[in-house]
C-alpha cells in the first residue's frame, strides 16, 4: 500500500500568481497607456481647436459676411469687439460699416495681395494703433469686382479682442465643423490605432512569457506520463516548474518510483517463488525416495532380520518427521504472508519473557558445550507482542548459533532500553559469515553451509524470524565478521501502533 504523497505547498511563485500578476501588469499598462494617450489627445485637440478657430473661423465668418448687397451686412458682432467692415473698389474704400478706427482710405496693390493671402498686419496712420486685417474678394449685383476687408484693432496685448471674438459663441460666428471633425477622426484613428497595436504587442509578449513557463513543464509532464504508461517506470520528469506543476511533477516521479520498486519486488518475489518450489521439491524428494525404497523392501519381505527391519522402520519414521517439520515450517512461513494473518498481542514484560526463553534453551547450550552470558535490563519493560511467535523468532536465532558454530562457542544475550526503543541481541563469537551469505541469510531456504542437504535445517528459520519481527513493527539486523562472530539485533518500539 503506497503512503500518502506529501505534496508541495503552493507558493506565491505559482502559475495562478504569475497569471494574475500578468493580468494586473497588462491591465495597469493598458490603463496607463490609455490615460497618457488621452492626455496627449486632449492637449492636441486644444491646439487643433485653437489653430482651427484661428485659421477657419475668421475665414468662415468673413465668407458669411459677403453679400452682393453689402450695405445690408450685419456687423453687430464686429462692432461688439471694436471691429469694422470696409468695401474696396479699385483699391479705394467705397463703403464703411462699423466704427472705423484708422484713417486709411486707399490701399496699394501689394497690401491687398498680402491681405487676401492672409499675411497682412498693417500699421494705421496712428503709430500707437495696430490692426489685424482679413479680406475677401467678391462681386456686387452689377458684377463689379470688390474686396471686403474686416479689421480688428489690437491693444497692448496685441490680439486680445480678436481672440475674444474667436472664443465667442455670439450667433453668426462660425467655424468649419466638417473639416474639424474629419481631422479629429483621423487623429483619433491614428492615436487609438497605435494604442491598440501597442497593447496587442505588449499582451502577446506577456502571454508568450507566461505560456512558456506553463507550456514547457506541461510538455515534459505529458512525455513523462507517456513513458510511465508504456511501462518505463525508471523514467523521471526533470524540468523547472512553478509550485502547482512542480507538485504534479513530484507526485508523478514519486508514483513512478514506487511502481518501479513494487515491480522490482514483485519480480523478486516471483523469482523467490520459483526458487522456493525448486527447494521444496529437492527437500521433499530425497526423503520420499528413501521412504519409498525402504517401504518396498519391507513390503516385499526383502529384509528378514528383525533388527534390520526395525532399523528400516526407524529410518522411515525419521524421514517422515523430517518431511513433517519441513511442511510445518513452510506452512508457518506461508500463513504469515496471508492478509488474514493477525498476531495475538498481549501486554507482557519483555525482560521476563526473554529470560524464560533463554532458560528453555539452556539444556541445548550445555549439551553443545556452549558458554553463555546474560545481560538483561533490571526493571520491567511492558510491550505488546505475540508470545508464541516472538518465542519462535528468538528461538530460531539461538538455534542458528547452535547449529553452525563449533563446541566452546560463547553466546551473549543482551536486552537494553534506549528511550522508547527496546533492543534484543543474540551475539556469538563463532565462525561468522562471509559477505555473500550475509546478503541472503534472511531469504527463504538459505543455510549457513550453503548446501542443499536433507540433514540440515529447512532454511526458513531466519526468514520466519525476520517476518515475525516485522509483523511486530520492528526490524532485525545482522552484524557478522568471518572468523570473529555474529550478532543478531532485534529492535522494537514501545509505543508502536499495532
Give tens-digit pLDDT for 377-402. 888 999 999 998 899 899 989 988 99
- 244 strand-pairing partners: none
**Percent of the chain's residues with pLDDT above 90:** 16
Residue 388's contacts (CB-CB under 8 Å, 6 or more residues apart) are 344
- pLDDT, residue 376, reads 92
Of residues 173 and 433, more confidence is placed in: 433
- With a cut of 70, say whether residue 291 has pLDDT above it: yes
pLDDT digits (tens, 9 = 90+) for 8-52: 444 444 555 556 666 666 666 666 766 676 676 666 665 555 555
Q: Which of 38-52, 244-258, 316-330, 407-421 has the highest mean pLDDT?
A: 407-421
- pLDDT, residue 427, reads 94
CB atoms within 10 A of CB 244: 18
What mean pLDDT do residues 315-341 have? Answer: 75
pTM of the predicted protein model: 0.45
- With a cut of 60, say whether residue 176 has pLDDT above it: no
- pLDDT, residue 417, reads 92
- With a cut of 80, say whether residue 135 has pLDDT above it: yes
Determine the Cα–Cα distance for residues 253 and 221; give it in Å rounded to an integer.
10
Q: Where do the domains of the chain lie, and which CATH numbers do they carry?
A: 344-493 (3.30.565.10)
pLDDT digits (tens, 9 = 90+) for 184-203: 667 777 776 777 777 777 77
Determine the Cα–Cα distance for residues 346 and 386; give it in Å rounded to an integer.
6
CA-closest candidate to residue 391, choices 363, 355, 444: 355
Of residues 123 and 442, more confidence is placed in: 442
- pLDDT, residue 314, reads 86
Determine the Cα–Cα distance for residues 465 and 452; give it in Å rounded to an integer.
21
Amino acid at each position: 500500500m503506497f503512503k500518502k504523497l506529501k505534496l508541495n505547498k503552493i507558493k506565491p511563485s505559482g502559475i495562478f500568481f504569475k497569471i494574475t500578476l500578468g493580468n494586473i501588469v497588462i491591465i495597469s499598462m493598458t490603463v496607463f497607456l490609455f490615460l497618457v494617450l488621452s492626455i496627449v489627445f486632449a492637449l492636441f485637440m486644444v491646439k487643433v481647436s485653437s489653430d482651427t478657430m484661428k485659421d477657419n473661423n475668421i475665414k468662415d465668418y468673413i465668407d458669411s459676411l459677403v453679400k452682393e448687397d453689402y450695405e445690408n451686412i450685419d456687423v453687430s458682432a464686429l462692432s461688439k469687439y471694436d471691429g469694422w467692415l470696409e468695401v474696396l473698389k479699385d483699391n479705394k474704400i467705397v463703403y464703411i460699416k462699423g466704427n472705423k478706427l484708422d484713417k486709411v482710405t486707399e490701399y496699394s496693390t501689394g497690401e491687398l495681395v498680402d491681405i487676401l493671402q492672409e499675411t497682412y498686419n498693417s500699421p494705421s496712420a496712428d503709430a500707437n494703433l495696430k490692426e489685424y486685417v482679413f479680406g475677401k474678394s467678391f462681386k456686387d449685383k452689377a458684377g463689379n469686382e470688390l474686396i471686403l476687408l474686416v479689421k480688428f484693432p489690437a491693444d497692448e496685448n496685441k490680439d486680445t479682442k480678436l481672440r475674444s471674438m474667436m472664443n465667442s459663441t455670439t450667433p453668426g460666428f462660425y467655424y468649419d465643423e466638417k473639416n474639424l471633425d474629419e481631422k479629429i477622426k483621423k487623429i483619433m484613428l491614428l492615436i487609438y490605432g497605435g494604442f491598440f497595436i501597442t497593447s496587442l504587442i505588449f499582451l502577446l509578449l506577456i502571454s508568450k512569457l507566461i505560456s512558456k513557463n506553463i507550456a514547457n513543464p506541461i510538455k515534459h509532464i505529458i512525455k513523462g506520463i507517456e513513458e510511465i504508461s508504456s511501462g518505463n517506470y525508471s523514467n523521471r520528469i526533470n524540468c523547472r516548474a512553478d509550485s502547482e506543476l512542480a507538485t504534479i511533477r513530484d507526485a508523478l516521479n514519486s508514483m513512478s518510483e514506487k511502481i518501479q520498486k513494487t515491480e522490482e519486488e514483485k519480480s523478486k518475489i516471483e523469482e523467490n517463488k520459483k526458487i522456493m518450489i525448486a527447494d521444496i521439491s529437492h527437500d521433499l524428494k530425497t526423503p520420499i525416495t528413501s521412504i519409498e525404497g525402504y517401504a518396498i523392501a519391507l513390503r516385499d519381505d526383502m529384509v528378514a532380520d528383525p533388527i534390520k527391519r526395525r532399523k528400516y522402520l526407524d529410518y522411515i519414521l525419521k524421514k517422515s518427521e523430517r518431511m513433517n517439520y519441513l511442511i510445518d515450517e513452510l506452512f508457518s512461513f506461508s500463513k504469515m504472508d496471508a492478509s488474514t494473518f493477525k498476531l495475538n498481542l498481549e501486554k507482557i514484560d519483555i525482560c521476563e519473557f526473554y529470560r524464560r526463553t533463554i532458560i528453555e534453551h539452556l539444556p541445548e547450550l550445555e549439551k553443545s558445550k556452549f558458554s553463555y552470558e546474560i545481560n538483561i535490563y533490571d526493571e520491567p519493560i511492558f510491550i505488546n507482542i505475540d508470545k508464541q511467535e516472538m518465542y519462535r523468532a528468538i528461538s530460531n536465532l539461538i538455534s542458528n548459533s547452535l547449529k553452525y558454530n563449533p563446541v566452546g562457542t560463547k553466546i551473549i544475550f543482551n536486552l537494553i532500553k534506549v528511550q522508547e526503543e527496546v533492543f534484543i541481541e543474540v551475539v556469538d563469537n563463532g565462525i561468522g559469515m562471509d559477505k555473500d551469505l550475509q546478503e541472503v541469510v534472511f531469504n527463504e531456504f538459505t543455510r549457513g553451509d550453503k548446501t542443499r542437504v536433507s540433514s540440515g535445517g529447512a532454511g526458513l528459520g531466519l526468514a520466519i524470524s525476520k517476518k515475525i519481527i516485522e509483523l511486530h513493527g520492528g526490524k532485525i539486523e545482522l552484524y557478522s565478521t568471518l572468523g570473529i562472530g555474529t550478532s543478531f539485533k532485534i529492535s522494537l518500539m514501545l509505543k508502536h501502533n499495532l
